[in-house]
Amino acid sequence: MPSYVITGAARGIGFEFVRQLSVQPDNVVFGLVRNKSTATKLLELADGSSNVHVLQADIADAQALKEAATEVAKITDGTLDCLINNAAFLEMERRHLTLDAYPEEFLAKDLRDSFEVNVIGVIQTVNAFLPLIRKGTMKKVLALSSAQGDLDAALNVGIAIAGPYSVSKAALNMVVVKYAVRFRDEGIVFLSISPGLVNTQQGPPPPAVQAEMVALKDRLEKFYPDWNGKPLEPEESVRMQLEVLEKATIEESGAFVSQHGNKYWM
Ligand SMILES: NC(=O)c1ccc[n+]([C@@H]2O[C@H](COP(=O)([O-])OP(=O)(O)OC[C@H]3O[C@@H](n4cnc5c(N)ncnc54)[C@H](OP(=O)(O)O)[C@@H]3O)[C@@H](O)[C@H]2O)c1
């Protein structure tokens, strides 16, 4: 019975991971959310499925993560096959700003918040679930990164905005490398993956953000002339990511790839 834990499972890409994985009746799927009371869609899915469990933990809270791991262990006999670190912090109001244009009162805050969730939160999650992963069969750990954390893409496309988020995702890629090196001998595969540009927006962004997003889209279209200019739906992105995850071997552990399994980010 392959088992999966997915963080940030209340909505967006995380919810879609739970949905697709739970279609296989043999899988046991744990959706981890920071607030059960607002995770309506996931609770409905769990109500209608025998193989979906909902757990609550803020990934910035190491103790809550340990308790979640204990809950999983009770159901899986102490094992876990695959951990999908999907939860992330993205500041929505200031993501169009360049680092030099940041209001001073928010610069350190947004950097800290991004680091707390996207870097420290992932490390805490991995550490909490590692004892279970070590006893699992599949032994895979995925971290949802972003092309914005790819140094070459940022330089070559010309992306100066979303500094705190991008810096945290670049750091996350290094976190994955550190774990990959540490656990290569034990056969645990760690992978950073960018899901592509995926339509998970909950509402229209503020006008200033919208204008910068249009400018970014223009740059992306120039850099990737064969891109159709449309974001992926979560369904397609997750389907592609699961194919990459399934194929990933220990030789690739530590890599940072796109939903295509390579460095093509769109
Ligand atoms: N969408 C894209 O185009 C895109 C592109 C590149 C990379 N990514 C990456 O893909 C992943 C999923 O993206 P998405 O668009 O689906 O994101 P999203 O819609 O913003 O969802 C993020 C999820 O993370 C959860 N979360 C945030 N902080 C948390 C915390 N401290 N503890 C636990 N959960 C927390 C949120 O919980 P609440 O529901 O409680 O807020 C939410 O469920 C992220 O890692 C993101 O950086 C996305």
Tell me how far the alpha carbon of residue 85 lies from the centroid of ligand 1, in angstroms: 10
The answer to whether 224 is a known catalytic residue is no
Residue among 19, 4, 57, 15 at smallest CA distance from 35: 57
Structure confidence at residue 159 (pLDDT): 96
Regions of the chain with pLDDT less than 50: none
For ligand 1, atom 2, the nearest C-alpha belongs to 198
Is 169 labeled as catalytic in the residue annotation? Answer: yes
Q: Which of 169, 179, 224, 264 is catalytic?
A: 169
> Which residue type sits at 114?
S
**Domains of the chain (ranges, CATH numbers):** 3-258 (3.40.50.720)
List pLDDT tens digits, range 158-203.
999 999 999 999 999 999 999 999 999 999 999 999 999 999 998 8
Whether 173 contacts 256, CB under 8 Å: yes
Residues lining ligand 1, CB < 6 A? 7-8, 10-14, 34-35, 58-60, 86-90, 117, 121, 144, 146, 194-195, 197-198, 200
Cα 185 to middle of ligand 1, angstroms:
31
- Nearest protein Cα to ligand 1, atom 19: 12
Using the mean position of ligand 1's atoms as its centre, give its distance from the Cα of residue 90 in Å. 7
Tell how far the Cα of 89 is from the centroid of ligand 1, in angstroms.
6
Pocket test for ligand 1, best of 19, 34, 172 (most atoms within 8 A of CB): 34
Per-residue model confidence (pLDDT) at position 26: 97
In this prediction, residue 10 carries a pLDDT of: 98
**Ligand 1 atom nearest to 14, measured from its CA:** 16
